[in-house]
Amino acid sequence: MKEFGLLIVFLFRLSSSVWADTYPEVVFDNSLVKGSYAKSRVQYAGASWVENVNGHLLVSDTLFFTPGNALSLRYLSAIEGHWDVNIRYSRQKYHYRFSNTDYLSVRMYVKSEFTGVKDLPRLYISQKNTVSDTLDVSKYIDDFEIGKWVQIKIPTKDFNIVNTDEPINGIHMIQHATSKDIHHVFIDQIEFLPGKYSEVKLGSKAVLTDAVAYDRIVHLKWQLPLTPSIRYIKIYRSEDGQVFKPIGMRPVQMQSSLDVVPVIGQKYFYKITWMDYNYEESLFSTIKEASTKKLDDNALLDLIQMAHVNYFVENFDINSGMYMPYRSKDKAVVSTKETANAILALLIGAERKFIAKQVVLNRISKIAYFLLRSQNKYGVFPAYFDGRKGLPEYRRGFSSYDVNGTASVIEALLIARQYFSDDNDTEKDLRSRITALYDRVDWQRLVVDDKSNILRSKLSLMEDEKSGGANSTTLLSGTNDAINTYILAIGASKHPLPASVYANAVYNTFNTYRYEALEELDTDIYADSLVHEDLSSGRAEVIQVDSVTKFSVLQPSTKFGVYLPMGEPTGSLMDLYKPFLTIEPKILNDSITDWNEVLASYVHYVKRRDNELGVGTTDSDIWGFYQHRDSVGNYRINPAIAPSSIIADPELGIASLLALYGQYGHILFTEYGFRSWLDLRNNDVSDEYLALNQGAIAVMLENAKTGFIWELYKEIPELKKARRELFLKDEEQNN
């Protein structure tokens, strides 16, 4: 285990932020899976034709401009026909911000000998509701040559895109000149580049400092000079130390990478080069070697957990310490709610000695200081901030104060307050600031009215403090997000809510509606006489009054042989997990629900349901579908759903984790842990990550093993007080 311990040092001693596998301005550089590229869409009509598999372009892993593959475009442009190929921009978070000073660069290799420059496709850009002008690419190629990679370089202003703020959807190549011949070209490295960039020559050789092997993974680490013209690190691998093949590239922000090797128990050799904006390479680094060997299951679980923690180690804003979901050219956008996941993961990193405790202390202190001086309303924070200014970030022209997001980050900070308990000035100061953040929330001003004490889930930035009634906002209720928030509100030292609100808010959901004649009515929509319910039986009389319908969440049913006290779930199992990242299920003794039993029931229901669907795999340990459509739709596996079940059924959780890593780790597992989804039917995988997923795997693994986060939460004084008020009898028994 000595070698395994070294990985902890290598994986977490990174000095720069890593954002993604590539840049936001890159539309295509590589397909993460072989065979066909699911993020492309082929359409043709009449006598024309484009080679495809299930409507997608084929992937070439033998001929490419940048490793390890390119797209194969083989087409027939008939007189009586037409074709259109969309290479979709796949970023969900890391959006490219269009600029008329940039240019679009496409690398193309013409394989068919009879293909002339006029036979090449025309090109246009699509957005959500519009398309650009369609351009003849022949005008933008300087040195056309068959059997050679050429660059198509188009100034973005030539597309005449009116709304440059609207994200792009894809790059389209369509039929141009007609011909009886079948043409074949390869396409690679589609990207938007700045009009001007550094062209400093790369005179020195690259520096590869380490290559350390663990199981089927080799961890590579390098050092970068302060040379502005370096854009990529190009990685080469060899099995004999003589013949090296390029296997991948990483953006300049990264100072390390994980390489998933073909065979365990073999020696591999590595070297790297720097690569500039023109794709000219530096001199090779010295060669490093690493011998892979199989890890036992416990060591693999540690490796997987470390990678998921590493996601939060690296993805943060240096100014505020907050989690940064994506990057922008002109601002540092940070997320309030997702910072909670980061805090929990960092605490685990410190406890497991993945990260220095002082580093985590400094980061969380920066977060607390940032939140104390940032804009808020009644102590509630916006969903997103500009991390540099502490001001609300307007997304799509709208922003709001997020009650649940604020509760999540304060809860995580309270857990950090328990962890940093030493009697020194730094930790005492942090504890004081966290307490001040908690005390600042005026829970009583966040309710929809004084009689119901039901919290609003959002507050408008421009909203008058008296407005925002039930008819104009969503209400915070139900089991997913409400449990933690109401316990916080009940336990608050200042402006608390009464304990009586808990059962009403948690075991019911409130749906709001609008009516034209609403102002003519004067009815208390939360009057006890209007809603009659029996929580113990799970039956409720649903009465719609004006703008609100109240439903009991207890609607029992049985499916796949499993009793479901809340009926069949309409969302993801991740929603049910949320409260239990921090709260051990057994301490919620409210006499209505045994949460250990509820979690186990829904875990087994989802597994049986997904196994019965059987989409793309026959392995019963691969489950966790979250996107269900008809027989020709998508079935995506969220790789956090099954592993997080470890808190309810350890055997199922561990089996699924090892199956995902063992069968799909080569495309699914990276420096940041598992990617956000895997589509087995369409042979596709996400190129991004989700904070909830990465946090859930890191935290649930730790809670199942040591109960670390659960134990810290359990000892928070204010929340112990709240639980005594709520569950006095059972709390005394547990203590």
**Higher-scoring residue by pLDDT: 263, 75:** 75
Q: Do the Cβ atoms of 119 and 162 come closer than 8 Å?
A: no
**pTM, rounded to two decimals:** 0.85
Give CB contacts under 8 A, 24+ apart, made by 598-604.
Answer: 598/565, 598/566, 599/645, 599/647, 599/648, 600/648, 600/649, 601/562, 601/563, 601/564, 601/565, 602/562, 602/564, 602/569, 602/573, 602/576, 603/573, 603/645, 603/648, 603/649, 603/652, 604/560, 604/562, 604/649
- Confidence grade of residue 628 (pLDDT, cut at 50, 70, 90): low
Pick from 345, 419, 346, 334: nearest CA to 371: 334
Single out the residue in 130, 161, 193 at which a domain terminates: 193
Q: Which pLDDT value is given to residue 220?
A: 93
> Is residue 113 domain-shared with residue 55, that is, in the same domain?
yes
Q: Is the residue at 311 inside a domain?
A: no
Choice among 128-137, 260-269, 462-471 with the minimum mean pLDDT? 462-471
- Confidence grade of residue 635 (pLDDT, cut at 50, 70, 90): confident
- Listed ranges 367-371, 553-557, 624-628; the one with the highest mean pLDDT: 367-371
Q: Which pLDDT value is given to residue 601?
A: 97
Q: What is the mean pLDDT of residues 188-211?
A: 93
> Is residue 154 domain-shared with residue 224, that is, in the same domain?
no
Neighbours of 368 (CB within 10 A): 23
Q: Domain containing 284: what range?
A: 208-294
pLDDT surpasses 50 at 207: yes
Single out the residue in 260, 294, 328 at which a domain terminates: 294
Q: Is the residue at 36 inside a domain?
A: yes
**Backbone φ and ψ of 61, nearest 5°:** -105, 15
CATH of the domain at 262: 2.60.40.10
Q: Which residues contact 56 (CB under 8 A, 6 or more apart)?
A: 36, 37, 38, 40, 41, 42, 682
CATH of the domain at 721: 1.50.10.140
Strand order in the sheet with 288-291: 245-251, 230-238, 267-276, 288-291
Q: Which pLDDT value is given to residue 570?
A: 82
> Is residue 229 domain-shared with residue 93, that is, in the same domain?
no
CATH of the domain at 125: 2.60.120.260
CA distance 183 to 72: 11
- Residue 372's alpha-carbon distances to 227, 383, 458, 488, in angstroms, are 38, 15, 20, 18
> Is residue 255 domain-shared with residue 108, that is, in the same domain?
no
Q: Which pLDDT value is given to residue 511?
A: 67
Q: Which pLDDT value is given to residue 329?
A: 64
Q: What is the mean pLDDT of residues 546-572?
A: 86
> Is residue 606 domain-shared with residue 650, that is, in the same domain?
yes
**Backbone φ and ψ of 266, nearest 5°:** -130, 155
CA distance from start to end of the chain = 38
Percentage of the chain beyond pLDDT 70 is 86
Q: Do the Cβ atoms of 643 and 656 come closer than 8 Å?
A: yes
Q: What is the mean pLDDT of residues 715-727?
A: 95
Q: Which pLDDT value is given to residue 461?
A: 66
pLDDT surpasses 80 at 340: yes
Q: Which residues contact 181 (CB under 8 A, 6 or more apart)?
A: 76, 112, 114, 115, 119
Q: Is the residue at 440 inside a domain?
A: no
- Confidence grade of residue 388 (pLDDT, cut at 50, 70, 90): confident
Q: What is the 3-state secondary structure (H, E, C) of 687-703?
A: CCCCHHHHHHHHHHHHH
Q: Is the residue at 215 inside a domain?
A: yes
Q: What is the mean pLDDT of residues 701-721?
A: 97
> Is residue 165 domain-shared with residue 225, that is, in the same domain?
no
**Higher-scoring residue by pLDDT: 224, 630:** 224
- Tens-digit pLDDT profile for residues 62-87: 999 999 999 999 999 999 999 999 99
Establish how many alpha carbons lie within 13 A of residue 79's alpha carbon, considering only the half-sphere containing its beta carbon: 1
Q: What is the mean pLDDT of residues 101-130?
A: 95
Q: What is the mean pLDDT of residues 171-178?
A: 96
Q: Which pLDDT value is given to residue 431?
A: 98
CA distance 585 to 579: 9
Q: Is the residue at 446 inside a domain?
A: no
Within 315-356, residue ranges assigned H as helices are: 336-351
> Is residue 184 domain-shared with residue 261, that is, in the same domain?
no
Q: Which residues contact 73 (CB under 8 A, 6 or more apart)?
A: 50, 51, 57, 85, 121, 173, 184, 185, 186, 187
Q: Is the residue at 472 inside a domain?
A: no
Q: What is the mean pLDDT of residues 217-244?
A: 94
- Residue 394's alpha-carbon distances to 331, 383, 594, in angstroms, are 12, 9, 41
pLDDT surpasses 90 at 680: no
How many degrees, rounded to 5, is the angle at CA 118 between CA 115 and CA 119?
A: 45
Q: Which residues contact 574 (CB under 8 A, 6 or more apart)?
A: 626, 638, 640, 641, 644, 692, 693, 696
Q: Is the residue at 386 inside a domain?
A: no
DSSP 8-state secondary structure symbol assigned to residue 145: -
Choice among 114-128, 233-247, 452-466 with the minimum mean pLDDT? 452-466
Single out the residue in 263, 294, 325 at which a domain terminates: 294
Establish how many alpha carbons lie within 13 A of residue 254's alpha carbon, considering only the half-sphere containing its beta carbon: 28
Q: What is the mean pLDDT of residues 704-714?
A: 97
CA distance 567 to 470: 26
**Backbone φ and ψ of 583, nearest 5°:** -105, 125
Choice among 244-253, 257-266, 464-473, 479-488 with the minimum mean pLDDT? 464-473
> Is residue 47 domain-shared with residue 92, that is, in the same domain?
yes
Q: Which pLDDT value is given to residue 255?
A: 78
DSSP 8-state secondary structure symbol assigned to residue 253: T
> Is residue 128 domain-shared with residue 214, that is, in the same domain?
no
Pick from 16, 190, 172, 183: nearest CA to 104: 190
Amino acid (1-letter code) at residue 46: G
Q: Which pLDDT value is given to residue 232?
A: 95
Q: What is the mean pLDDT of residues 135-145?
A: 94
Q: Do the Cβ atoms of 87 and 39 come closer than 8 Å?
A: yes
Q: Is the residue at 509 inside a domain?
A: no
- Confidence grade of residue 516 (pLDDT, cut at 50, 70, 90): very low
What domain count does the chain have?
Answer: 3
> Is residue 187 domain-shared with residue 261, that is, in the same domain?
no
Residue 168 CB-density burial (10 A; 0-12 exposed, 13-18 middle, 19+ buried):
buried
CA distance 339 to 657: 25
> Is residue 232 domain-shared with residue 171, that is, in the same domain?
no
Amino acid (1-letter code) at residue 531: V
Averaged pLDDT of the chain: 86
**Backbone φ and ψ of 272, nearest 5°:** -135, 165
CA distance 253 to 267: 28
> Is residue 238 domain-shared with residue 138, that is, in the same domain?
no
